[in-house]
Structure 1
Amino acid sequence: MDSRQLRYFLAVVEHGSVTRAAEILFVAQPALSQSLRALENELGVELFRRVPRGMELTVAGEALVGPARQVMESSRSADEAVRRIAGLAGGRLDLATPPDLAVDPIVALVARFRARHPRVWVNLIDPGSHSNVADLLRAARCEVGVDYLPVGGSRVVAHTLGRRRLLLGLPPGSPHTPARSLPLERLAEIPLVIGPRGTAVRDEVERTCAGLGFSPRVVVEVEHEHHVFLLVAAGAGAAFLTDREAEQAARRGVAVVRTDPELGRDFGVVCRSDELSPAARAFVEEATVGVADDAITPR
């Protein structure tokens, strides 16, 4: 098998059909289908089941996905190593981050990186609610990401960039609005709008409440937290907000207060501990300019 066959195979996996994969790859559909059949003949197994709505992986196909991504990543690293001398005159950066970090700090970091390396193509990846950046790093879906710290597991290096504090947004006219800051013990009586378990804010709030001897009173659970302030403004409940979300919420009449003690989590750049491609290495260096070297911690 060759890298072209594996690239075609992964495109069909990611897009669910030969037609869509052919469009994305800018190749003729018959040529892509022929390449897949040749790969299946070479391996002696069927990789896909042809179904009315597209393609489904067989057990053999599922087994090939991981190794195929590893091969493509190795091929990309070799290609980009050749470009290193030319000062990143091309290449690709796969960058993973959860949605609540995708605006701040990702927007500024990507803009700074693109200004320095305008010919590098950047692909932003959302890990989804059932995964995290470290999992994508170990599966070779990406080489670098920005995530909340600490990250668990092996073969991952983290470099702290800053701290994301959380403020409590209360609906307009809420009887729980304090004169100054709100003691965290009072969370037991406040209905909350929050993301599902496994998200950074939910985990932080539940861990804090457990330490105080109670469970948070969750009344609305939302898959995507970046518009949660709209539910607060409408009176559905209170919610923990980032500084940027708190500014938007305050303009809609939400009472934004500090808690005592204040909640928050560190965030930073995470990357694989093995050799990085030139693009990934350049992004890590650009993102961590001015940050102390001892912030890099193997996990």
Structure 2
Amino acid sequence: MDARQLRYFLAVVDHGSANKAAAALYVAQPSLSQAVRTLERDLGLALFHRVGRRLVLTDAGRALIEPARQVLRGLAAARASVESVAGLQVGRVEIAAMPSQAVEPLAGMIKAVTEAHPGLSVAVRAAFTADEVLHQVRSGQTELGLLAAAEPPAGVGVDLRPIGRQRFVLVCPAGGPFAPDTVVRHEDLAGQRLIVGQSGTGMRRLVDEIRAAGVELTEVVETEHRETVLPLVLGGVGVAVLADSWAPLARQAGALVLDLEPARHLHLALASRAGDLTPAARAFLALAYSPSR
């Protein structure tokens, strides 16, 4: 058993197939499949059921995931510790982040850390809900996570650091249905056509709460792709409830950003995996909390 085999095994787990795993790792698919088969022979157990072209984890495969991630993370930490002797000139941070929080504050955090340590690189992994962020950190897929929740988040097996709040706002086309500087009460949304996120997201939860309070709304678009919301609003398809991290981009694009009353907020937190972190991850956390950032 070697690190390459474990890395290939986890790539198949994370990407769902040998073809996608090979593409993500920039290796030939036969080479990847052969490495996984060699790993199975070394262990004496099948890690996947092969159902046609599909690979389905066996019990042995599921049992290997967490130890494999720990081994690769440990090797990365060892390499990073040696590299840090050179003054943290190189390194890599992996962080899971939800879409709105990836706009801000994550963009600002990345700017600060890459300016302070130009040799560092940051890999941002997508997660649509707080639970997904926590899962990626807890399982070792990433060292860090940036999440938002309607209530102050709590997580088992990870360290959580609160970093503030984001307010929900209403984003509308400049031509209506609301005038600039209007404070929009929830009941004012009656009859409006809304662009909403998928279930489990904060923006969708707030829309559902407003509807449950008796306000009649029409969901004209439901999207998992947050980047499509602003173009749809600007095109006059509907209005959208978004975190105020989108406000600068929305205003720059020509949309109206209006306050909602009563106000609703998301609580933000940075999550890190339990145990020792790589020097790069520690540097990221230190700059994320810097008062001057």
TM class by shorter chain equals 0.7 to 0.9
Structure 2: distance between partners of 1:57 and 1:159: 34
Letter of the structure 2 residue corresponding to residue 156 of structure 1:
V
Deviates more, 1:12-21 or 1:281-290: 12-21
1:233 aligns with 2:249: no
Structure 1: distance between partners of 2:19 and 2:181: 60
TM-score (norm 2): 0.81
Deviation, 1:101, is 1.9
Aligned to 1:3: 3
Deviation, 1:106, is 1.9
Give SS of 1:258's match: strand
1:153 maps to which of 149, 155, 159: 155
Aligned to 1:203: 205
Letter of the structure 1 residue corresponding to residue 267 of structure 2:
D
Structure 1, unmatched stretches of 5+, are: 292-299
Aligned to 1:294: none
Note the alpha carbon deviations across 1:70-90, whole angstroms, 9 max, x for none.
222233223323334333243
2:183–2:258 Cα contact (<8 Å) kept: yes
Structure 2: distance between partners of 1:197 and 1:8: 32
Structure 1: distance between partners of 2:45 and 2:291: 52
Letter of the structure 2 residue corresponding to residue 35 of structure 1:
A
Deviation, 1:20, is 5.8
Deviates more, 1:25-34 or 1:87-96: 25-34
Note the alpha carbon deviations across 1:111-165, whole angstroms, 9 max, x for none.
2212222333322100246952112111111111222152232133333334322
Note the alpha carbon deviations across 1:184-228, whole angstroms, 9 max, x for none.
233344332110121122224444665xx3366241211122331
Distance 1:209 1:162, change over 3 A: farther
Distance 1:246 1:274, change over 3 A: same
Aligned to 2:121: 121
Distance 1:155 1:209, change over 3 A: farther
Deviation, 1:23, is 6.0
TM-score (norm 1): 0.80
Deviates more, 1:127-136 or 1:39-48: 127-136
Distance 1:46 1:215, change over 3 A: farther
Structure 1: distance between partners of 2:239 and 2:36: 52
Aligned to 2:272: 271
The share of aligned pairs that are identical, in percent, is 39
1:206–1:216 Cα contact (<8 Å) kept: no
Deviates more, 1:140-149 or 1:249-258: 249-258
Distance 1:235 1:60, change over 3 A: same
Note the alpha carbon deviations across 1:1-20, whole angstroms, 9 max, x for none.
33232122223334455566
Root mean square deviation of aligned Cα: 3.2
Aligned to 1:112: 112
Query: How many pairs align?
Result: 289
Distance 1:208 1:112, change over 3 A: same
Aligned to 1:283: 284
Deviation, 1:250, is 4.9
Give SS of 1:160's match: strand
Letter of the structure 2 residue corresponding to residue 62 of structure 1:
R
Structure 2: distance between partners of 1:224 and 1:29: 29
Aligned to 1:35: 35
Structure 2: distance between partners of 1:128 and 1:65: 22
Deviation, 1:172, is 5.2
Structure 1: distance between partners of 2:11 and 2:250: 40
1:166 aligns with 2:168: yes
Letter of the structure 2 residue corresponding to residue 282 of structure 1:
A
